[in-house]
A and B are shown apart, each in its own frame.
Chain A
């Protein structure tokens, strides 16, 4: 079994953000039809690697699990040595706590910080080869499929809204293909692209395949 850190090409000291970026990069690298693995791995091997990557992310993105993993393999991450449990949260809360902001702003920032943490605590469903195949093969991305993928990836609409700053009503309308509510075409294109990126789909493919954008 490959070490999770070397699988994602990060060090045991990697920050949470490093883990997230490395995970996205790995998923992109080992996706089906990836050019970068051409002639080295078969489809089956690739699927196995993707599962490994998912497993690595599930462990490394979870503070408790990561700590247990580090202990098991004898890694001493810098964060654990000094402050113990709260170091991770402290790093993200730093700006809000250090500056001595007024109470209202403070709670707002704190709420945002919570969202950041929450965003990356996704709980994806188990690997679903059928859906993965459909995603790969899809030429059309109707709202229903987008929704299915989003749920499969364990991303809530609120997460997407918080991250992209697109209002949740638009996001709902995108999934429902509710043309009456959807914004003008030019905006919609951008929104659909951003939304697609949030659920790890290729934005341009989704924009091309989103039916309401294809009626003239």
Chain B
């Protein structure tokens, strides 16, 4: 999303909410847990937060927050039944925290139309909040990718198992390539040309970094655009469900691999321990962070949220001089 026409003064409240998206290729890696917990953490820090359940067709963010049903859901807005997006955001038990729930969504919501997606993307920034957190579904469908790309910060949750790592890389690949769709038409044509040539010569397209490097040799201008697009993505990895000390190496290592393979910087936000109490809190239908605010897990979430917020502050002061 462009910094665009909102000129921000240092220290001034941003005119539109900051959008954070939580995604990741695989199911069960804690996307909803992280979204809900970060929402609670931000709300506790006094920010006005709206959580949006965008796991279309598999929504259960309300359950992570201990909410059974709700008056409105996302479908009500998408179908036009409710005109204002702020109307479907309902207050939760936590102060300052509202939720656009997917509970009782229409059964066809998994296949929303393009115009519905566009409507949602256009209106998310109009939510009356400081922060909007998007809880995305697993997989790499265009719907998921587009919400992820439009966010100010994209958080990817990965657990220390090969399946999750594999899907995370796949997800990141899809995100970055989808992002390149935004480059000007001319550049896109040269990209296609180089890609198909590589496919013929080497057999595979190879890594994104290699591709950008080859582009730099052939068309330095286009490569510059590519690099700018890739660098504009603010991606973060969270390693979730850590059980052994050695698991914590995964984050920094994936960061190193990403910079080699994708040729772009992906930050490592931190890790979260595996904690049986998460299940307990879910069974009690209460948000984990409010139930166990002193737990190690809660403290780590608070730290991550604080570090992301600090990054936002830096950005709003320098007004994004993308390097």
Contact = CB atoms under 8 A, between A and B. Distances in A.
A37 interface: yes
A40 B261 CA distance: 8
Interface residues of A, number: 16
A2 B249 contact: no
A35 B261 contact: no
A39 B166 contact: yes
Given A25-B252, A28-B249, A35 B257 contact: no
A200 to B, nearest CB: 14
B253 A34 contact: yes
Given A25-B252, A28-B249, A37 B162 contact: no
A36 B253 contact: yes
Interface in A18-42: 25-26, 28-29, 34-40
* Most chain A CB atoms below 10 A, which of B207, B250, B254, B261: B254
B292 interface: no
Contacts of B166: 38-39
Contacts of B250: 35-36
B211 interface: no
Interface string B247-288: 001101111110111000000000000000000000000000
A208 interface: no
A7 B160 contact: no
A39 B162 contact: yes
B253 A39 contact: no
B50 interface: no
Contacts of A35: 160-162, 165, 250, 253
Contacts of B256: 9, 25-26, 29, 36
A6 interface: yes
Nearest to A6: B259
B162 A38 contact: yes
B162 to A, nearest CB: 5
Given A35-B160, A35-B162, A35-B165, A40 B257 contact: yes
Interface string B157-189: 000111001100110000000000000000000
* Most chain A CB atoms below 10 A, which of B169, B249, B252, B256: B256
A7 B259 CA distance: 9
Interface in B110-168: 160-162, 165-166
B165 A29 contact: no
Interface in A23-71: 25-26, 28-29, 34-40, 49
A6 B263 CA distance: 10
A39 B257 CA distance: 12
Given A29-B256, A36-B256, A37-B257, 6 more contacts: A6-B259, A7-B260, A36-B250, A37-B253, A38-B166, A40-B257
25 contacts: A6-B259, A9-B256, A9-B259, A25-B253, A25-B256, A26-B256, A29-B249, A29-B252, A29-B253, A29-B256, A29-B257, A34-B253, A35-B162, A36-B249, A36-B254, A36-B256, A37-B257, A38-B165, A38-B166, A39-B162, A39-B165, A39-B166, A40-B169, A40-B261, A49-B260
